[in-house]
Amino acid sequence: MIALREKFKIPKKLKAIAALLLIIGILTILSGFFTKGLSTDNAVSAQFWGVLMYNTIFWTLICNASMFFVCFTTLAMGGWQASFRRVPEAISCMVPIFGVLTFLILFYVVAIDHNYHIYGWLNTDVVQHDEVLKGKQGFLNVKFYLIWTVLTLALWSLLGWRMRVLSSEADKGPLLGEKGKKYIWKNTVTASLFVVWFALTVGSTVPWFWMMSIDPHWYSSMYSWYTFASSFVSGLSLIALWVVYLKNNNYLELTNQEHLHDLGKFIFAFSIFWTYLWFAQFMLIWYANIPDEVVYFKHRMQGAYRGIFFLNLIINFVFPILLLMSNDSKRKYNWIAFMATFIILGHWMDFYQMVMGSLSKQEVSLSWFDFGVLAFFVGVMIYGVAFALTKKPLIAKYNPFLKESVIHHS
Amino acid sequence: MQVKYESQLREPLIYGKKTYHDLTEDIIRPIEAKPTRLWYIGFFVAVALLCFGIFSVYRDVTYGIGQWNLNKSVGWGWDITNFVWWVGIGHAGTLISAILLLFRQGWRTGVNRAAEAMTIFAVMCAGQFPVWHMGRVWMGFFVLPYINTRGPVWPNFNSPLLWDVFAISTYLTVSLLFWYSGLIPDMATVRDRAKTKFRKFFYGITSFGWTGSAKHWQRHEALSLVLAGLSTPLVLSVHTIVSFDFATSVVPGWHSTIFPPYFVAGAIFSGFAMVQTLMLVVRKVFALEDYITIGHIEAMNKVIILTGSIVGVAYCTELFIAYYSQNKYEQYYFGFSSGNLFSPYGWVFYSLMFCNVIAPQIFWFRKMRRNIYVTFFLSIIINCGMWFERFWIIVPALFRDYLPSSWSVYYAPTIWEIGFYLGTFGLFFTCFFLFAKYFPIIALFEVKHILKTTGESYKDQVTNIEEEAVEKFAQENLHHH
């Protein structure tokens, strides 16, 4: 009999790292808050709130991507991920926490600060004299923005919580025959609800609200799917990072290179998918060259953001396609961990240029401040996920597909 | 030896107490038997349609495409609609064989062979439209870039229409290779059983001297994976480039950044609908219900609801962005003022919304997904809906352009445009009937491969594994890590 280490104990080193990151993060945020955040000049305070915005949106979306992973593998009746399913479940516990942060920050920007510099459509004086913005008021208004944001975050958290509750059943006793079918059925129902809501939020409305409306005149029908691809591939990388971490600490005995290989394939495939959407959006706008649309790429490709524009492609496309192509590369724990970190950083930068690229068009504001804020979010994530991992056995012993996962061959 | 195990909660993919020999018998028998009367009738109808198509095309070449109803503002009509429709249908086969192979989906084995064949025939049909649309078709080779004596006359590399030439011919080539390399072991099986001279000769040649040695299998597996890897991006690229035909333009209703992934999802959607239409008939006619089970049909219906919903989100996104952009031309196309939703073509939009978005939602219900009649009916509805979608994208975007004086012309096809379309049905079904008669319609060796894990009688034997503690099971089966 293999003995399974079910209980995760947070190593001291991990706690120390998280604490360090948190301290750096909090100090950075405080200093930013007092130097920029409180400024009555919208353009200055936008430099503070904008950074918080893209970080909190990014981390909420990528943690929510974990629940999306759980749900779509449930719907597809995937067996292979059963051995490490508790990892994405734990990551998804961060959705309510980051969700509250997201809401607070957006609420402040929209309802308290009325930051015109971030959301031009908040400025009623401008809107009154702008036919286009006037026409958008049915969608771009504070009430709808906030209600939809609350609804989105609440339902993600609620349905995710429900999925995790259902998953606990697989700790209690064998799920064979009719019992197993019932278990799968219940999971399927909740997972479908989650996926539908996911499509109606990440797949369409939410990126329009939170990020696309920063350039209130500009539009692209691809925008939301692009945001989804960017956050999803980072979410997969985050799962892989935690799996490797647990493996390196001698947990997850039933997970091996075969599972990591398939996670690696997903990361590889969705890196290419992201590139595909990136290319489709960029090329069509570039080719048609309609002034309304090219404004978005003008300063990104030819102005101050030129470096980031190409770096984005190099990190998120060239590196994954070259470095994750071979079989071996996807089966090495440390290599996957390295690539996953790299890809998360790459897409974090993608979110940076999506938000800050619209807020400060003349110069790239990326500085120690951005990395300090990133440290805060990483610190919170490490603490939160590690804590969530301690709450449940690391392997759901009676998951009906667990044995398939044990003998899985990638 | 790896344990043959799959959770009993999964439905078997092969019903009945089957041995390897039974599989061979069941799948090869239709090839060796005389075709039924139904086959002859079907084949005759298909050939008749094909003849009508050939005659229509003959007239196109003789009199020019002026005999179509294309006019000043509607330069693309049924021809390009049909082209996109057929290309779309040609997506399911390679998706099933390539992407589902990479995803290790066992159920693909029951339907992949026929779906791949369908893909190839559909792409052949699609190719007809741009070719004969050229009018002076004997100049067709001008689309190929080669060093020529025409001076500096090259195809326009900036044009997505030329990218189409490359994308579709590559797709056809790779799909053909994939399909054929998969056929080789099965052709050898037919050859080894052959009693007549013709069969010995035909299957002898087509099986390329396959002996079934370990080396052959090893190469075959490697080739399948390489081809799957190559085809996966191709599944996306083909319809992406077809969507570029529209999206690179500045025509309202055509220029939309979401077009590429949305076209791909729509293509898979329509492809699966066509696979359903065909497989529901095939399993009945050839008595293959044990191999193309309700489980297979349900799995495909799940793909249909998924891709149908993606397409639905894309439609709504387009409508929303037309509103959100406050671009009056976009809004005109989507009819926020007195535009196209209320135009003479408005009904096309409502039909496509019904067929592609609303109707498939019925598949949220398990009972409906597993009902053969509902599935068949829905598959036809979706095939129609996806045709409406392409017609909607192409014709209403063109027919009321920026010059109101050309608005009066309502485009409807002539009998020769319809004849051409029916002709491609003839081509498609002629090929399919011949395929069903002379080729193993199910990938025999692949079904054999999954028999001992997912066959009904074998699944009954793993109850003891099912009840075993996972620690013990892992101890027994996890040596190699």
H helices present in B286-363, as ranges: 294-325, 328-333, 346-352
Q: Which of B246, B263, B326, B334 to mutate to test the interface with A (most CBs of A within 10 A)?
A: B326
Instruction: Please judge whether B261 and A222 are an interchain contact, meaning their C-beta atoms are less than 8 angstroms apart.
Output: yes
Provide, as residue numbers in chain A, all residues whose Cβ is less than 8 Å from the Cβ of B317: 204, 221, 224
Altogether, the residues listed in chain B come to a count of: 481
Helix (H) or strand (E) holding A56: helix A42-75
Which residues on A lie below 8 Å from B240 (Cβ)?
Answer: 276, 280
pLDDT grade, residue B287 (50/70/90)? confident
Distances (CA, A) of B122 to A276, A409, B235, B352: 25, 34, 14, 21
CA distances from B152 to A156, A285, B157, B161, B467 (A): 59, 30, 13, 19, 75
Nearest to A400 by CA among A175, A114, A172, A222: A175
Residue B262 · residue B308 · CB < 8 Å: no
The answer to whether the Cβ–Cβ distance between A257 and B472 falls below 8 Å is: no
Q: Which parts of B194-293 fold into alpha helices (H)?
A: 197-206, 214-247, 259-285
Q: Which of B320, B362, B319, B308 is nearest to B341 (CA)?
A: B319
- Residue indicated by tokens 């500009």: A218
Closest alpha carbon within chain A to B2: A407
Query: Could you count the other beta carbons within 10 Å of the beta carbon of residue B77?
Result: 23
pLDDT at B481 over 60: no
CA distance B201 to B204: 5
- Distance (Å) of CA A293 to CA A3, A54, B8, B77, B171: 59, 22, 54, 29, 32
Q: How far apart are the first and last CA of chain B?
A: 15
- Using the beta-carbon criterion (under 8 Å), do B320 and A280 form an inter-chain contact? no
First to last CA, chain A: 24
Residue of chain A minimizing CA distance to B104: A410
Distances (CA, A) of B150 to B121, B142, B162: 34, 10, 18
- pLDDT of B338 strictly over 50: no
Looking at B98-206, list the stretches that DSSP marks H as alpha helix, in order from N- to C-terminal side.
100-102, 108-133, 160-193, 197-206
* CA atoms of A51 and A62, how far apart (whole Å): 17
| Chain mean pLDDT for chain B | 90
CA–CA dist B436, B449 (Å, integer): 22
CA distance A373 to chain B (A): 33
Calculate how close chain B gets to A252, using CA atoms only, in Å: 12
Burial class (CB in 10 A: 0-12, 13-18, 19+), A301: middle
Q: How far apart are CA A128 and CA A125, in angstroms?
A: 5
Contacts with B2 from chain A: Cβ below 8 Å: 407, 409
- Work out the angle at residue A211's Cα, subtended by the Cα atoms of residues A210 and A212, and round it to the nearest 5 degrees: 115
Residue pairs spanning A and B at CB distance below 8 A: 135
Does A28 score more than 60 pLDDT?
A: yes
Question: Does the pLDDT of residue A209 top 80, yes or no?
Answer: yes
Q: φ, ψ for residue B410 (rounded to 5)?
A: -100, 125
- The C-alpha atoms of residue B10 and residue B462 are separated, in whole angstroms, by 12
Instruction: Calculate how close chain B gets to A256, using CA atoms only, in Å.
Output: 7
CA angle, A129 as apex, A128 and A135 as ends, to 5°?
Answer: 65
Q: Is B470 on the interface with A (CB under 8 A)?
A: yes
Residues in chain B with CB shorter than 8 Å from the CB of A219 are 321, 324-325
B320: chain A residues, CB-CB within 8 Å: 204, 208
Which among B310, B324, B473 is the nearest to A219, CB-wise? B324
Q: Decide: B288 and B18 in contact? Cβ < 8 Å.
A: no
In this predicted structure, what is the pLDDT of residue B337? 47
DSSP A95-162: HHHHHHHHHHHHHIIIIIS--TTT-GGG-HHHHHT-HHHHHHTTTS-HHHHHHHHHHHHHHHHHHHHH
Partner A, chain B 283-312, Cβ-Cβ below 8 Å? 302, 309-310
Residue A382 CA to residue A14 CA, distance in Å, equals 8
Q: A407 and B323 in contact by Cβ < 8 A?
A: no
Alpha helices in B326-371 (DSSP H): 328-333, 346-352, 366-369
The whole-number pLDDT of residue A155 equals 97
Nearest CA in chain A to B366: A185
Q: Name the residue ranges covered by the structural domains of chain A.
A: 26-390
For residue A177, the tally of other CB atoms under 10 A from its CB is 13
Query: Does A349 have pLDDT greater than 90?
Result: yes
Do A403 and B255 make contact, defined as CB atoms within 8 angstroms?
no
Query: CB neighbours of B63 closer than 8 A, spacing ≥ 6?
Result: none
Contacts of B466 in chain A (CB under 8 A): 176, 403
Which of chain B's residues have a Cβ under 8 Å away from the Cβ of A132? 326
Picking from B119, B110, B111, B114, the residue whose alpha carbon sits closest to that of residue B91 is: B119
HSE-CB at A199 with a 13 A cutoff on CA atoms is: 18
Inter-chain residue contact B261 with A290, CB threshold 8 Å: no
Using the predicted structure, report yes or no on whether residue A277 has a pLDDT greater than 90.
yes
User: Which of B240, B255, B323 lies closest to A288 in CB terms?
Assistant: B255
Q: Which token pair is B47?
A: 């050939």
- Between B94 and A151, the higher pLDDT residue: A151
The C-alpha angle B4, B5, B11, rounded to 5 degrees, equals 125
8 Å CB contact of A221 and B256: yes
Residue ranges of alpha helices (H) inside B326-411 are: 328-333, 346-352, 366-369, 372-399
Residues whose CB is less than 8 angstroms from the CB of residue B19 and which lie 6 or more positions away in sequence, other chains included: none
Q: Which of B378, B319, B376, B385 is nearest to B351 (CA)?
A: B385
* CB within 8 Å of chain A, chain B residues 232-251: 233, 236, 240, 244, 247-250
Q: Which residues contact B382 (CB under 8 A, 6 or more apart)?
A: B269, B270, B273, B304, B308, B355, B356, B359, B360
Out of A139, A176, A222, closest to residue B467 by CB: A176
In chain A, residues with a C-beta closer than 8 Å to the C-beta of B251 are none
Let me know how many helices (H) and strands (E) chain A has, helices first. 18, 0
Q: Report the residue of chain A nearest B10, measured CA to CA.
A: A77
Predicted TM-score (pTM) above 0.90: yes
Closest approach of B81 to chain A, Cα-based (Å): 21
- Within 8 A of B481 by CB-CB distance, chain A residues are 256-258
Long-range contacts of B255-258 (CB under 8 A, 24+ apart): B255/A284, B255/A288, B255/A290, B256/A221, B256/A284, B256/B318, B256/B321, B257/A220, B257/A221, B257/A222, B257/A223, B257/A280, B257/A281, B257/A284, B257/A285, B258/A221, B258/A222, B258/A225, B258/B314, B258/B317, B258/B318
What is the biggest distance separating any 2 CA atoms in chain A, rounded to whole angstroms? 75
CATH 1.10.3720.10 describes domain B35-137+157-406+413-458 = no
Which residues are registered as beta bridge partners of B455? B14
pLDDT band at B468 (very low <50, low <70, confident <90, very high): confident
**Which residue of chain B has the CA closest to A5?**
B471
CA angle B33, B118, B85 (to 5 degrees): 145
Among candidate residues B85, B88, B102, B123, the one with its CA nearest the CA of residue B232: B102
Report CB contact under 8 Å: A176, B466: yes
Min Cα distance B298 → chain A (Å) is 12
Among A3, A135, A31, residue whose Cα is nearest residue A375: A31
> B237: helix, coil or strand?
helix
Instruction: Quote the pLDDT of residue B102.
Output: 84
Q: Which of A6-15, A39-48, A55-64, A233-242 has the lowest mean pLDDT?
A: A39-48
Grouping H, G, I as helix, E, B as strand and the rest as coil, residue B33 is coil
Q: B15 CA to chain A: closest CA distance, Å? A: 18
- Residue spans of the domains in chain B: they are 35-137+157-406+413-458
pLDDT above 90 coverage of chain B, percent: 60
Express each pLDDT in A258-269 by its tens digit: 999 999 999 999
User: What is the pLDDT, as a whole number, of residue B1?
Assistant: 54
- Minimal CA separation from A207 to chain B, in Å: 12
Whether the per-residue pLDDT at B480 is higher than 60: the answer is no
Contacts of A174 in chain B (CB under 8 A): 467
Query: Quick check: B97 and B228 in contact, CB under 8 A?
Result: yes
Question: What is the C-alpha to C-alpha distance for residues B474 and B481, in angstroms, rounded to an integer?
Answer: 11
Q: How far apart are CA A102 and CA A67, in angstroms?
A: 18
- Are the beta carbons of B207 and B439 closer than 8 angstroms? no
Q: Residue B408's pLDDT band (boundaries 50, 70, 90)?
A: low
Q: Which residue, among B1, B3, B5, B7, would best test binding to A if mutated, counting the most A CBs under 10 Å from its CB? A: B7
**Hey, what long-range contacts does B341-349 have (CB within 8 A, 24 or more apart)?**
B343/B396, B343/B399, B343/B400, B344/B410, B345/B392, B345/B395, B345/B396, B345/B399, B348/B388, B348/B391, B348/B392, B348/B395, B348/B396, B349/B392, B349/B396
Is there a contact between B255 and A284 if contact means CB atoms under 8 Å apart? yes
Helix axis angle for A177-200 and A42-75, nearest 10°, is: 150
Summarised one tens digit per residue, pLDDT across range B201-239 is 999 999 999 999 999 999 999 998 899 888 888 888 999
